[in-house]
C-alpha cells in the first residue's frame, strides 16, 4: 500500500457548513462523525467507516452518518472537544488519547498487563464498567460506546536492538495512554504523536522507536522502511479498544429505537473489527517478514519484568488518585482483572500453551 495515501487530509474550508446542526426532516436525521484517523487507514480508519455505514443501514435511512477523517473538519486530537461542544455529533477514536480529560478514561481503552479484548468488553458488560464509562464521559456531555478492538498490540518498531533495561533509558519512544506512564517510569523519553508523524520522526532520528497498533495498520504506514526491529509482546496494550462517543444532547433527542440502533451498531461491530484485525495482522506480519526484511524480536524477560513493576506503580497511583471517580474506576478494573485472570490460567492460557506445542496437525 501507498503510505502517503493515508496521510493526506481534506480541505478544512468546508468545516463551517459541515459542522452545522444535524438536519431533521420527516423523521430523518443527518449526523456528522469526526475521527482520529486518516481516511480508510487499515484498521481504525476502516472501522470508523464501517460504523458510520452500519448506523445508517440499521436505521433504515432515518439516521445517516457522514464521516470526516482527521484534519478534514477538525484535527484528530480535537474530536473529543468537537463532539463535547456539539459542533459534531459523534466521533471514532480510542480512549487512550483523552488522559488529559480524566485519568480514569485511560482504563477503558487499554491497560499495561491488563485486559484482553474479550475481557475488556466483559468488564463493561458484566463487571460494572459501562456505568463508570458513562459517568466519566457524562461529565463532558458525551455518551460512550466501545465499538471495536485491535487485539494485542506490539511493543513497536526499534531502530536498534534492545538487550536490557539499560537500553531503554533516554530512548525517544512514541506511545500513548497508560503505556506512556509505564515507559516514563523506566526512563524512556515518551512522545505522543499520530502515525504519520511517527514515521517521519523515526526517519529523521527524532524518535528511536515507537508503537502504533500492529502489523496490519503499521505496514500500511510503512514503519518497516525506517526501523526493522519489530518487538513483541506489547505488554503496554494487551488490547486496545476503539470507541464511539456521541454528543449526549443529540443522543438524548433520538427516539428510543434510534438510540438502540446506535448501541447495537457499536456493540455488533466490536467482534467484526477485532476478528478482522486478528486476521489481517497475521497476514501482514508474514508479508513484512518474507518480503520486507522485518526482524521479529522478543523483549528480554528482564525488560518485561521491569515493565511489569512499572505498570504496578501506574495502577497503584490510579487507586490513590485525587479524583474519586478515577479511584472507583481503577478499583472496578482491578477487581475484574483479578477475577478473570485467575480463571484464564485454566481456560485460554491453558489452551494456547497446549496449542503452542509442536504437533503435526
Say which CATH number the domain at 302 has: 3.40.190.10
Domain region containing 13: 3-151+238-280
Q: How far is CA 26 from CA 63, 129, 249, 254, in A?
A: 11, 37, 20, 14
- The verdict on residue 119 lying in a domain is yes
CB 164 within 8 A of CB 172: no
pLDDT tens-digit map of 261-299: 999 999 999 999 999 999 999 999 999 999 999 999 999
- Whether 314 and 221 map to the same domain: the answer is yes
Residues facing residue 93 across a β-bridge = 243
Is the pLDDT at 46 greater than 70? The verdict is yes
pLDDT band at residue 18 using 50, 70 and 90 as cut-offs:
very low
Is 212 annotated for ligand binding?
A: yes
CB 352 within 8 A of CB 233: no
Is the pLDDT at 16 greater than 60? The verdict is no
CB 336 within 8 A of CB 315: no
CB 94 within 8 A of CB 241: yes
Q: How far is CA 1 from CA 82, 212, 232, in A?
A: 31, 17, 24
- Whether 138 and 185 map to the same domain: the answer is no
- Whether 132 and 180 map to the same domain: the answer is no
Is 174 annotated for ligand binding?
A: yes
Mean per-residue pLDDT, 207-226: 97
Is 302 annotated for ligand binding?
A: no
Provide the 3-class DSSP secondary structure of residue 187. Answer: coil
- Whether 105 and 29 map to the same domain: the answer is yes
Q: For the chain, how many structural domains are there in total? A: 2
pLDDT tens-digit map of 111-160: 999 999 999 999 999 999 999 999 999 999 999 999 999 999 999 999 99
- Whether 160 and 97 map to the same domain: the answer is no
Is 211 annotated for ligand binding?
A: yes
pLDDT tens-digit map of 228-242: 999 999 999 999 999
Amino acid at each position: 500500500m501507498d503510505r502517503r495515501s493515508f496521510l493526506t487530509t481534506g480541505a478544512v474550508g468546508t468545516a463551517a457548513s459541515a459542522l452545522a446542526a444535524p438536519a431533521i426532516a420527516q423523521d430523518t436525521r443527518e449526523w456528522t462523525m469526526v475521527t482520529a484517523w486518516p481516511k480508510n487507514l487499515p484498521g481504525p480508519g476502516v472501522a470508523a467507516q464501517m460504523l458510520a455505514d452500519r448506523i445508517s443501514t440499521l436505521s433504515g435511512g432515518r439516521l445517516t452518518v457522514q464521516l470526516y477523517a482527521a484534519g478534514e473538519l477538525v484535527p484528530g486530537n480535537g474530536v473529543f472537544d468537537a463532539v463535547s461542544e456539539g459542533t459534531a455529533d459523534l466521533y471514532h477514536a480510542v480512549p487512550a488519547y483523552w488522559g488529559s480529560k480524566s485519568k480514569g478514561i485511560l482504563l477503558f481503552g487499554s491497560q499495561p498487563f491488563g485486559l484482553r479484548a474479550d475481557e475488556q468488553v466483559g468488564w463493561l458488560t458484566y463487571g460494572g464498567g459501562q456505568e463508570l464509562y458513562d459517568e466519566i464521559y457524562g461529565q463532558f456531555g458525551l455518551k460512550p460506546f466501545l465499538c471495536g478492538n485491535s487485539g494485542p498490540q506490539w511493543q513497536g518498531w526499534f531502530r536498534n536492538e534492545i538487550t536490557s533495561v539499560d537500553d531503554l533509558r533516554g530512548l525517544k519512544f512514541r506511545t500513548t495512554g497508560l503505556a506512556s506512564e509505564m515507559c516514563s517510569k523506566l526512563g524512556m523519553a515518551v512522545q505522543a504523536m499520530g502515525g504519520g508523524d511517527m514515521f517521519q520522526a523515526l526517519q529523521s532520528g527524532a524518535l528511536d522507536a515507537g508503537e502504533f497498533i500492529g502489523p496490519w495498520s503499521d505496514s500500511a504506514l510503512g514503519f518497516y522502511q525506517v526501523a526493522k526491529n519489530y518487538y513483541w509482546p506489547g505488554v503496554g496494550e494487551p488490547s486496545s479498544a476503539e470507541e464511539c462517543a456521541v454528543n449526549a444532547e443529540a443522543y438524548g433527542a433520538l427516539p428510543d429505537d434510534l438510540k438502540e440502533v446506535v448501541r447495537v451498531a457499536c456493540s455488533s461491530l466490536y467482534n467484526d473489527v477485532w476478528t478482522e484485525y486478528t486476521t489481517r495482522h497475521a497476514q501482514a506480519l508474514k508479508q513484512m517478514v518474507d518480503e520486507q526484511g522485518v526482524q521479529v524480536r522478543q523483549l528480554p524477560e528482564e525488560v518485561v519484568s521491569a515493565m511489569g513493576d512499572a505498570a504496578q506503580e501506574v495502577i497503584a497511583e490510579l487507586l490513590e488518585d485525587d479524583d474519586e471517580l478515577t479511584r472507583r474506576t481503577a478499583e472496578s478494573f482491578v477487581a475484574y482483572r483479578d477475577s478473570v485472570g485467575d480463571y484464564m490460567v485454566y481456560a485460554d492460557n491453558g489452551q494456547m500453551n497446549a496449542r503452542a506445542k509442536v504437533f503435526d496437525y
